[in-house]
Homo-oligomer: A and B are copies of this chain.
Amino acid sequence: MKTDAVRGHLDGLLLAVLEPGPLHGYAIITAVQERSGGALELRTGTIYPALNRLERLGLLDSSWQAQGERRRRCYELTEAGRRTLAGERTAWQEFTTAIGAVLNPASAPASAPASDPRPAT
C-alpha cells in the first residue's frame, strides 16, 4: 500500500474502529491493521494529531486511564461522532462509486445494476 494512501479517509477509519467501544491510540493502530488484513499501518504521527482534531471537533471524548504506572488515553465516540461516521460511510460509498465508474466503466456503470446487495445506509 503506497504512502499517503488513507489521505482524506482517516477520520472515517478512526471513527469506525471506535464504534464498538473505546480504545487507546496504540490499540487503534492495531485495530485498523487487523481489520484491514494488515494492509493499513497507521503511524503515530498520523493518528495522534487526528484524534486531537476529532476531539476538538466534538466527535470524540478522551479520558486518561491508569494501570499502575502506565497511562493510557482512551477515546470514545460522541453522539456527533456517530452521526459523522454515518456520513463518512455514505461519502465512502459515493467516492468508490464515482472513482470505480471511471476506472472500470464496463463493470461498474454509474447507474446501479439490479444486483447490489448493500442497501444504502
Binding site for B on A (CB under 8 A): 1-2, 4-9, 12-13, 16-17, 32, 34-40, 88-89, 91-92, 94-105, 107, 110-111, 118
Contacts and interface: CB of A to CB of B under 8 A. Distances in A.
A16 B33 CA distance: 30
Given A96-B96, A118-B107, A101 B37 contact: yes
Contacts of A7: 7-8
A98 B12 contact: no
Contacts of A96: 96, 100
17 contacts: A1-B94, A2-B8, A6-B99, A9-B103, A12-B99, A12-B103, A16-B104, A35-B110, A36-B101, A36-B102, A37-B97, A39-B94, A39-B98, A40-B102, A89-B103, A89-B104, A92-B103
A99 B110 CA distance: 21
A17 B105 CA distance: 9
